[in-house]
């Protein structure tokens, strides 16, 4: 992603958020999409509080996908065969509940700084229809999938393709967009 952005003329700094040096800069907003689960909840919130101006916004987003039940089971079987040690190989479960626990942890980290308003949660349900090929294009973008050995990725994509083709070649994926937002307090300095 950094190379892609640089190729398009953006200035990109690469660092772990908790260790990143803002070089004295302050910001009106910090937005993280599908990434804050890799940030230490307390250290990340403290860094955010240190670089946000008063009333600045911390906005964290996650998109949780929920395949139709028959495909959820078929996808899990493919993962069990190809990548048995990944969370994707687990029996289908309620992914929104799992993300709820994640949001609880992130909100607790934000509260430890004493520098933010109480975190607010919101949810937007939406859906999208995919063809086999459209979904196969998504898979390499999932966490950890870009580092798979080519033969493992090929096995995974072939298995997923077969599962979707058996169910008619298209399907509707349900999504839940979850957000957690908090504003930097005006008068409170972050506690360390």
CA-to-CA separations, 186 to 2, 49, 57, 59, in angstroms, rounded: 33, 11, 12, 17
Alpha-carbon radius of gyration of the chain = 19
Q: Where residue 190 falls among pLDDT bands split at 50, 70, 90?
A: low
Q: Which of 74, 83, 98, 103 is nearest to 144 (CA)?
A: 83
User: Residue 160 has what pLDDT?
Assistant: 97
Q: What percent of the chain stands above pLDDT 70?
A: 96
Checking if the pLDDT of 131 tops 60, the result is: yes
Which residues are 63's β-sheet partners? 177
Q: Where residue 192 falls among pLDDT bands split at 50, 70, 90?
A: low
Checking if the pLDDT of 147 tops 80, the result is: yes
CA 42, CA 192: separation in Å to the nearest integer? 10
Q: Does domain 2-183 have CATH number 3.90.1300.10?
A: no
User: Residue 94 has what pLDDT?
Assistant: 84
Contacts for 44 with CB less than 8 Å, ≥ 6 apart: 17, 18, 36, 109
Which phi-psi region, left, alpha or beta, contains residue 23 (left: φ > 0; alpha: ψ -120 to 50)? left
User: Residue 21 has what pLDDT?
Assistant: 96
Higher pLDDT, 35 or 88: 35
The whole model's pTM is what? 0.85
CA 121, CA 69: separation in Å to the nearest integer? 27
User: Residue 11 has what pLDDT?
Assistant: 94
CA 67, CA 11: separation in Å to the nearest integer? 37
Alpha helices in 58-149, H assignment, sequence order: 69-82, 95-112, 132-138
């Amino acid at each position: 992603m950094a190379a892609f952005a640089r190729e398009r003329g953006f200035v990109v700094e690469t660092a772990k958020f908790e260790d990143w040096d803002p070089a004295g800069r302050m910001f009106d907003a910090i937005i993280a999409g599908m990434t804050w689960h890799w940030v230490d909840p307390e250290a990340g919130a403290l860094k955010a509080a240190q670089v946000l101006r008063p009333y600045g916004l911390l906005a964290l987003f996650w998109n949780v996908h929920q395949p139709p039940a028959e495909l959820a089971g078929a996808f899990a079987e493919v993962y069990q065969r190809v990548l048995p040690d990944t969370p994707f190989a687990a029996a289908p479960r309620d992914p929104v509940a799992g993300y709820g626990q994640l949001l609880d942890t992130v909100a607790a980290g934000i509260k430890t700084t004493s520098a933010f308003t109480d975190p607010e949660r919101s949810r937007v349900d939406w859906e999208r229809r995919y063809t086999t090929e459209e979904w196969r294009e998504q898979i390499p973008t999932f966490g950890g999938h870009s580092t798979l050995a080519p033969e493992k990725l090929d096995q995974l994509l072939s298995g997923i393709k077969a599962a979707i083709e058996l169910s008619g070649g298209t399907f509707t994926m349900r999504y839940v967009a979850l957000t957690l937002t908090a504003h930097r307090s005006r008068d409170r300095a972050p506690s360390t």
